[in-house]
Amino acid sequence: MWAAYGERMPTLDDNACRPLTAREFAKIRQLAYDTSGLDLRAGKESLVSARLGKHIRQRGCRSFDEYYRQVVEDSTGEALIALIDALTTNHTSFFREPAHFDFLRKTFLPEWKNRGGVDIWSAACSSGEEPYSLAMCILEEWGSVAPGKVRILATDISTRVLAAAERGIYPAERFACLSAAQLHRYWLRGERDWAGCYRAKKEIRALVEFRRLNLLEPVGQIGRFPLVFCRNVMIYFDKPTQQQVVERLAGCLEPGGYLLTGHAENLTGIEHGLRYVQPAVYRKAPAEGGQKGRS
């Protein structure tokens, strides 16, 4: 974008290192909290300035106020999604927090093997390592009965990380925790332009459905699940928001279903009606007569 007569239009590039003012930070903090539950505590000003500064310049805005106005006036919601995207850290890995996958193999899968169908929700799935880890684990335990029986719903607020997750392509260094047998069975090695990368085979991609979802919005329409993974996202929320999110997650559990949280998180001080099973594992009371499979 250029000014009249060839003069350069001033942009935030002229002052790339300028931190947000207290007023600007307060506006972003409130917007992020109201729309996504993200709690940008005091002390995050420099981080927010760095992440949004680049984003603002890329949009060609001449001021923070212009950028903020674009975000709140965008009826598509895409500008807001991009803002939240810029503020969140999407760090994850395959088989992160291995104790949960031990629980999956030793407790959950044997308990629910005779179900007609098993739906699992990977909430805040980030770039997809968690749902693909679930798919590999289930295929290793249940083999040929898994396809058609298991559906893993993977959701996240970020359209950017969901797009990467759906592609299912990752650099080789991400696979350090996988055995050679797992890598050979479930992943295709890239060649030429894709050398140094691996792509998920159809066998595991077929078990996973990716969908955008904001945990602060109503989630009842997605159904009920015997297992919900929601790990390492509530650390970004304050207690009232954690309470709201946990209530919604618990409401999506089937009787006897399990909620798995991050080991750095706990539900202390949150009313949820779930029974503590082991660190970062909680269970909803089973229904009388046991569980029934989905049709």
Candidates 39, 51, 74, 283; catalytic one: 51
Is residue 72 within 8 Å of residue 31, measured between CB atoms? yes
User: Is 248 one of the catalytic residues?
Assistant: no
Alpha carbon distance 275, 26 (integer Å): 38
Per annotation, catalytic residue among 119, 156, 205, 231:
156
Does residue 205 have an active-site annotation?
A: no
Report the catalytic residues.
51, 156
